[in-house]
Structure 1
C-alpha cells in the first residue's frame, strides 16, 4: 500500500472526502489544501453518460472562460504572408509557415496552440503523427482553422480553451490557478459545465452529467454537488 505523505494527510483532514460541495466551496477548499511551491493549476473533470466510441456521442467543443486560465499560452500561427502582421499584432508568439513546419518535422513542439488557415491545412497533413498525439492539430471545430487569425489569437490568449471527451467518457480541462479568487474559479468551472450541457448529444440516454470534481496539481479531488448547479 502506498504511503500517504504528511502534506496529503493534512490536506485530507481539511475536508470530508465523502461529501459533495458547491463550486465555490470546493474552490475555497482547494485554495487551502494546495501545497505546491508554485501557483498550481486547477482542473475540472466531468464524467459524462456517453459512449465516445459512437460518433454521434462524441462531445467536444470550445469555451471562453470568463476569467481566463491564468496560464501563459504560447501560440504559433501558420499562415500566408498577407496574414502575418495581423497575427503578430494580436499577440502570436510565433508566426510563419514553411520554416515552422520544418521545425515541427524535426521534433519542435514548444507551443500550446497552433492556429492556421483553411488554405494551409493541406501542408499540415504530414504533421498529423507529431501534432495529433499532443493535441496540437488545428481543427475548424475548435476555431483554430480560420481566416480570422488575429481574432483567434486574441481569444486563445484571453482564455478560450477546447475540450474533448476521452475514451472513458470524461472531460478533463485546466480552468484556473490556485491564486484566483474562489468566485472566479467557480465562474470558470460553471462556464464549462454549462457549455457541456448545451452540447448534450441527442442520442445520449440516461444521466448525462454523472459526476464533477475539481482538483489542483497534486491535491485530492473535491466532489461537486450537482444539485447546486443551475441546469443540472
Structure 2
C-alpha cells in the first residue's frame, strides 16, 4: 500500500480560539480524559446483517468519518513543536491472530465512500489475520488514529494510561461487545482524548453524531 501524502497545517495562534486552553492543558495541567458511552446500534446492526458487510469495518469507518469531520481530533505538532492540523487522518485498527493470541495493527486510507473503504479494510483484516508482527505493513503514515476492539466482552468503563503521552493528540477508540437491552442492541464505546485539543463538548458532539450514523445507516447500502 502506498503512503498517502498529506500536510499538517500550522495553526494561527493569533486567531485560534483554543490557544489558552491548549497551552493550559498541555503545559500547566497536562491531562487526558476518557469517556465510556453506550451507542444504540440496533438499526446499524440490522443493516449490516442484510448487507453482508463486516461490522468491525463499519464501526471503524463511522469513527473515521467523524474524526475527519472535526479539526480538533486531527491536531498534531509540527517539527518545531507548534500546534497544527492534519488535512486527514486514517484509521489504524487491530486484527487478532487467534493461534498466537497476539494482534497486529493495520491501517487503511480513509475514503468517504463506505463501500470502497469496506473492501480495502476487509481485505486487510483477512490478509493480516495470521500476521506475526505488530505492524505488518511496510509504510505507516504519521497521520493515523487508533481503534481497537474487545468483541469478547462488554464494559462500562475503559481507560488507557499512556506514559509520556502528553503530546499524543489523536483520539483513541475502544469498542466492546454488543449487548441486548430492552430489545435494542447496544455497543460500548470508550473514547480517550487529550484535554489540550478537545473538551467534553467536542467529545459529546462526536458521540452524538456517531449515534446519528448508527440510527440512520443508509450509508451502508
Q: TM-score higher than 0.5 here?
A: no
TM range, normalised to the smaller chain?
0.3 to 0.5
Query: Which one has more relative contact order, counting CA pairs under 8 Å at least 6 apart?
Result: 1
Per the normalisation by structure 1, the TM-score is 0.32
Per the normalisation by structure 2, the TM-score is 0.33
Structure with the bigger percentage of strand: 2
Structure with the bigger percentage of helix: 1
